[in-house]
Amino acid sequence: MGYEIKIDPTTNAQTFEETWTLLDEDGEPIDLTGATIIFNVQDPISESTVLRATSEDGSIFITDTDFIVRFEVENMRGLTPKNYFVGLTIEIYGDTTQPFEGTLQVVNGRM
């Protein structure tokens, strides 16, 4: 496993979008061309996946060295306010790694 992260809180009344850059041991950005990326949001009690983004379905957009995870507000509205587990896997160059896992706090958005 890689690093443990804590993502800034978000609400269930807005689009969620985060951009990340992965660095190698020398601090240089990793070229993500051709990578398959999966980002899961899981309920902390049941551990079931409540949101899933992938580079294959277009909810993760990859540039050369960055990737953007995006959940539309319609998906976010289905989340109950609480802390969720998140995890990321990347398949690149024939290897699958988990660069990070952590938490995402979702608060009740006032609509």
- What is residue 74's predicted lDDT score, i.e. its pLDDT? 96
State the Cα–Cα distance between residues 59 and 47, nearest whole angstrom.
Answer: 21
Residue 52, pLDDT score? 98
Query: Cα separations (Å) of 48 from 32, 62, 84, 111?
Result: 28, 26, 10, 27
Radius of gyration over every alpha carbon of the chain, rounded to an integer in angstroms = 14
Per-residue confidence (pLDDT) for residue 25, from 0 to 100: 87
CA distance 69 to 88: 10
Q: Could you tell me how many helices (H) and strands (E) the chain has, helices first? A: 1, 8
Full set of structural domains in the chain with CATH: 3-107 (2.60.40.10)
Averages of pLDDT over runs of 10 residues in the chain (111 residues) are: 77 96 89 95 96 96 95 96 95 91 92 61
Structure tokens at 47: 């551990």
Pairing mode, strands 95-107 and 3-11: parallel
